[in-house]
Amino acid sequence: MSEVDFYGKALSYFHIAKVDYKAGKDFKDRNFIDTAAYMIQQSIEFMMKFYLTFYNVVPEHTHNLDVLLQQLDDNNIIIPFTIYIYDNLTTISTWQSNSRYGADFFVSDKKIERVFEELDISYNNICDDLENVGKKEKKSMNSDGGRER
C-alpha cells in the first residue's frame, strides 16, 4: 500500500468513526459506537503506517499500535499526536481486536469523545507537519532521493 493510500484511509476511517458514533448516539445503538471505536483504532494505525512509508520504512504487518510506535521510535520518526493519544495507544490498540471479538467490549462515550477531540488536534498538527516537511523537501533532498528525518 502506498503512503497516499495509508493517509487517505486514516482520514476516511476517522470520518467514518465520527459518523458511526453520531448514529450510535442518535439511535441509541451501542453497535455503532463499538464500530466507531474500531474505526478510531484503524485511523491511528493507518496514520502511523503512513508516516513510516512516508519516510521509506516498511511498516510491520500488525494492528498493535505499540509495535508501530516502537518502529517509529526506532527510525526517529515523530508523529505530532497529542500527549493524550500517545498515553492511550495501548488502550486504543485493544479497540481493534476487542470490538471484533470481545463479547463484553465497551468503551465509554466520554473516552471516545475525548479521543475525537484529541485526534482533531493531532490531525491538524499532522497537516501542519506535512506542510513543513514539504517546504523543507523542496529545499533539500538526501543524496538517495529520500526524505529527510
| Spatial contact of 35 and 98, defined as CB atoms under 8 Å apart | no
CATH of range 3-138; options 1.10.10, 1.10.3470, 2.30.30, 1.20.120: 1.20.120
Q: pLDDT above 90 covers what percent of the chain?
A: 81
Asked whether the predicted pLDDT for residue 119 surpasses 90, the reply is yes
Each residue's pLDDT tens digit, 121-147: 999 999 999 998 887 776 765 555 555
pTM listed for this prediction: 0.91
Query: What CA–CA distance (Å, rounded) separates 64 from 46?
Result: 11
Nearest to 8 by CA among 52, 57, 49: 49
User: What per-residue confidence (pLDDT) applies to 100?
Assistant: 83
